[in-house]
Each structure stands twice: as C-alpha cells, then as structure tokens.
Chains A and B, each alone.
Chain A
C-alpha cells in the first residue's frame, strides 16, 4: 500500500501523467448476494447442539418369585419426592407402609430454588460442600486434573458419605414430562449421590389425595 502512494508522489514530478482509471468496481451486486447468503446461513445454522441428560433406570426383574417392591434402603435416609399435576410437589422422609402406621407427614414444596433445592441441599450439605470445594480448587488452578479424574473423585466423595439422602422420585398420572426432568435436574444441581425414578405406590396416591383436599 505504502509503496503505491510513494509511486504516485514520484510521478508528480514527472512530465506525463497517465490517464486516471477508476480502480473501484461496482460491488453492489456482490454485497447483495453476500447479505442474502449470510442471512440464509445464520437462520439455518443450528449452533447449540442438543444436550442430553443421562439416566439409568433400575433393571426390571422378570423373576416373579421375588416380590416387586422398592429397593431396600435405610428409612431415615430415604426422601420420597412425589410429583403431581398443577405444578405441585410433595416430599416425605422415610417409608410409607400401610401396615405400619403412623404414615410419614407430607410436606408441600415447589420447583424453585427455595423449595426442593433448599431442602435437598440441607440434607446433602456434607457431600455438596466437598464437591463444591473440589470444583473451586480446579477452577482456581490449585488442582490440575483431567476431567475423568475429577469425575471419579466426585463419585468417590458421593460414595464415601453414608448419610446423604437417597431420593426416590415418583410421579402420578397427572405429571408432565418437564416436572420429572426438573426434579432429576435438581438431583444433579444438589449433587445427590443416589436417586431413582420408581413407580408410585397405591398408598402414596392415597396420601397425595388426602393432602390435596
């Protein structure tokens, strides 16, 4: 570029100036076309690839000799989350056995940060604190590990804690798909180690009905 200008200056001293030719081409059609193409690509492009949430369901046993009931878990660690329509969410602690009254009390909660999440975080404080500290260390650069190692460490923290809640997610017929996803998502947010989506028991449907009245 600079050279060209210099040359021009040089020529000024010369005798004959060559006939000036416009160097600019009419670029309007090109610009038009480009605008069109950019708009097209911008609209058709799918930027964010869909994300997936992995969920592993308990294997179904076809063995009829065994009674099909909820997996045996420690009662005081068990948190049952019951999802029903109209954005209502309930939970209770322990096991509901119709043969062994009294039934546990149902608590109403919601999907917001002050609802189920607050409750689960309180119950899961120990694990959550450890996992958050570990993640912070990685972010600050105090700890340099590969992603797979980090995931393994988190898994070990979750495994080693013997008091963290075990969440059983149950939904009735009125529930929508997004409610289930929301609740499973809360598990991921709160770093719950063990949770499962299981069928709702008849006694729980009754409990829901009595609470809703």
Chain B
C-alpha cells in the first residue's frame, strides 16, 4: 500500500493585501507627517476648550517649564529666504559684544528652543556633548539688573515685526513667573498673547 501522501502545502502566505495596506499607511504617514520639533524641555500644557490653531510661522514662543526655567524660541519666518534667527543672534551678539562666526549663525538658525544666558550660547553652539548642552539649559535670566529675556523679545520683534507671541507654560509653573513674563511682554507693547493649550472638550448645560 502506498503511503498516504500529505498534500504539500506551500509555506508561503499571500502577502499582497498586507503589503497593499502597508504601502497605503506608509504613504499616508509620510505625507501627513510634520516632524515633532525637539524641545529643550518637556512641557505639559494645561487643557482648554479653545480650538484655535497655533500659527506655525511668525511666532515667538516663550516656554516656561515646571521648574520655572524660561526658554525662548522663534521661527525663521514664512519661507526659506528669511533667516530671522540669524539676524536675531547677530543683533544680540552686537548688544552683548559677542562675535558669532557664520558657521555658528547657520547652526543656530536650524535649532529650536533654547534657554541660557547669552554668554553661554557660543558654547552651546560649538559643543557636541549632549550632556554639556543639557547642563547649559538653565533658563534665560530675567532679573532686574540684566533682563536678557526682554532683550530677546525686543530684538525678535525688531527682526520680525509681524511675529505673534505665544506663551507655552507647563501646568505646574508658578503663576508668579508667568505674570512676570506677561508684564515683560506688556512693557514691550505686546498686549495680546496666545496661551498654548491642549484641546479638551467640556460640556456646559443650563439647569432649568
């Protein structure tokens, strides 16, 4: 009697539908993605019902983290021909008599938020050690003797007069510090701010 031959089944599965789906997803994500910029610190924004979108260009962002450090960020402007960050750093360099090389200026224009005294910016731009970079982020000083944050805001508004100001505060930041920042902005003739928040729906009903 011949042995019963088991039908030889191919170990291959038809992967075409899976590949179809994958390519679809991949295309979708590649097209919709806008990379999350690397922030200098983690911010846990408070929630609100506001649905207004933050402008992604012409924006000065003041970041206040939970330990009350203040960071500053500004974008390069609406298109690649405007290099507001370079102008900003040049002017700040002149104000504090620090000379920045072209390479440093170029590097600065590609970076994101930062929070350190002006004198440390050169080290921050030249060093490659992430640990040193992290230690430098002590927050922009905002004391009465030398109000560097006010200078940053002033020069940023000189460089880009159309820029709006957004305050991105951590929920646990002290109101005292936020108030100081707001006062500083008002001294620089900024009376309208955008407070960055996360969206959370809330329902309100009148009781009869």
| Residue ranges of A at the interface with B (Cβ–Cβ < 8 Å) | 24, 27-28, 30-31, 34-35, 37-38, 41-42, 44-60, 83, 113, 117-118, 121, 125, 128-129, 132, 171, 173, 175-182, 184-185, 188-190
Shortest beta-carbon distance from B109 to chain A in Å: 21
Find out whether the CB atom of B175 lies under 8 angstroms from the CB atom of A52: no
Question: Which of B23, B54, B207 contacts A52, CB < 8 Å?
Answer: B54
Q: Mark interface residues in B1-34 (1 if CB within 8 Å of A CB, else 0).
A: 0000000000010111011001101100110111
Find out whether the CB atom of A44 lies under 8 angstroms from the CB atom of B35: yes
How long is the Cα–Cα vector from A44 to B55 in the complex, in angstroms?
20
Give the chain B neighbours of A49 by CB distance below 8 A. Answer: 53-54, 56
Find out whether the CB atom of A27 lies under 8 angstroms from the CB atom of B191: no
Shortest beta-carbon distance from B98 to chain A in Å: 32
How long is the Cα–Cα vector from A132 to B205 in the complex, in angstroms?
9
Of chain B, the residue at the smallest CB distance from A124 is B206
Find out whether the CB atom of A52 lies under 8 angstroms from the CB atom of B50: yes
Of chain A, the residue at the smallest CB distance from B16 is A27
Of chain A, the residue at the smallest CB distance from B185 is A57
**A34-B23, A60-B186, A121-B204 are contacts. A53–B32 as well, Cβ < 8 Å?**
no
- The answer to the question of B197 belonging to the interface, with a C-beta cut-off of 8 Å to chain A, is yes
How long is the Cα–Cα vector from A44 to B178 in the complex, in angstroms?
30
Find out whether the CB atom of B196 lies under 8 angstroms from the CB atom of A57: no
Find out whether the CB atom of A52 lies under 8 angstroms from the CB atom of B52: yes
Of chain B, the residue at the smallest CB distance from A58 is B191
Find out whether the CB atom of B48 lies under 8 angstroms from the CB atom of A188: yes
Question: Which of B172, B199, B206 contacts A121, CB < 8 Å?
Answer: B206
Find out whether the CB atom of A41 lies under 8 angstroms from the CB atom of B202: no
Find out whether the CB atom of A55 lies under 8 angstroms from the CB atom of B204: no
Residues of B in contact with A, size category? 35 or more
Find out whether the CB atom of B192 lies under 8 angstroms from the CB atom of A56: yes
**A49-B56, A55-B192, A181-B195 are contacts. A125–B46 as well, Cβ < 8 Å?**
no
Question: Which of A27, A53, A57, A173 contacts B48, CB < 8 Å?
Answer: A53
Find out whether the CB atom of A173 lies under 8 angstroms from the CB atom of B23: no
Q: In chain B, residues 165-208, which have Cβ atoms closer than 8 Å to a Cβ of chain A?
A: 166, 168-176, 178-179, 182, 186-187, 191-199, 202, 204, 206-207
How long is the Cα–Cα vector from A179 to B30 in the complex, in angstroms?
38
How long is the Cα–Cα vector from A57 to B54 in the complex, in angstroms?
19
List the 4 closest pairs (A to B, CB-CB), nearest first.
Answer: A178-B171, A41-B29, A52-B194, A46-B36
Find out whether the CB atom of B198 lies under 8 angstroms from the CB atom of A176: no
Given contacts A34-B26, A52-B166, A53-B194, 10 further A-B contacts (CB under 8 A): A34-B22, A38-B22, A51-B53, A51-B54, A53-B195, A54-B192, A57-B192, A125-B206, A173-B176, A185-B197
Of chain A, the residue at the smallest CB distance from B51 is A51
Give the chain B neighbours of A173 by CB distance below 8 A. Answer: 174-176
**A46-B34, A177-B171 are contacts. A31–B22 as well, Cβ < 8 Å?**
yes
Give the chain A neighbours of B149 by CB distance below 8 A. Answer: none
Of chain B, the residue at the smallest CB distance from A52 is B194
Q: In chain B, residues 90-107, which have Cβ atoms closer than 8 Å to a Cβ of chain A?
A: none
- The answer to the question of B49 belonging to the interface, with a C-beta cut-off of 8 Å to chain A, is yes
Give the chain A neighbours of B46 by CB distance below 8 A. Answer: 177-178, 181-182
Question: Could you say which of A27, A49, A125, A181 has the most chain B C-beta atoms within 10 Å of its C-beta?
Answer: A181
Find out whether the CB atom of A57 lies under 8 angstroms from the CB atom of B191: yes
Give the chain B neighbours of A182 by CB distance below 8 A. Answer: 46
Question: Could you say which of B18, B23, B46 has the most chain A C-beta atoms within 10 Å of its C-beta?
Answer: B46
How long is the Cα–Cα vector from A126 to B169 in the complex, in angstroms?
34
Give the chain A neighbours of B172 by CB distance below 8 A. Answer: 176-178
Of chain A, the residue at the smallest CB distance from B200 is A185
Of chain A, the residue at the smallest CB distance from B194 is A52
**A24-B12, A31-B22, A173-B175 are contacts. A51–B34 as well, Cβ < 8 Å?**
no
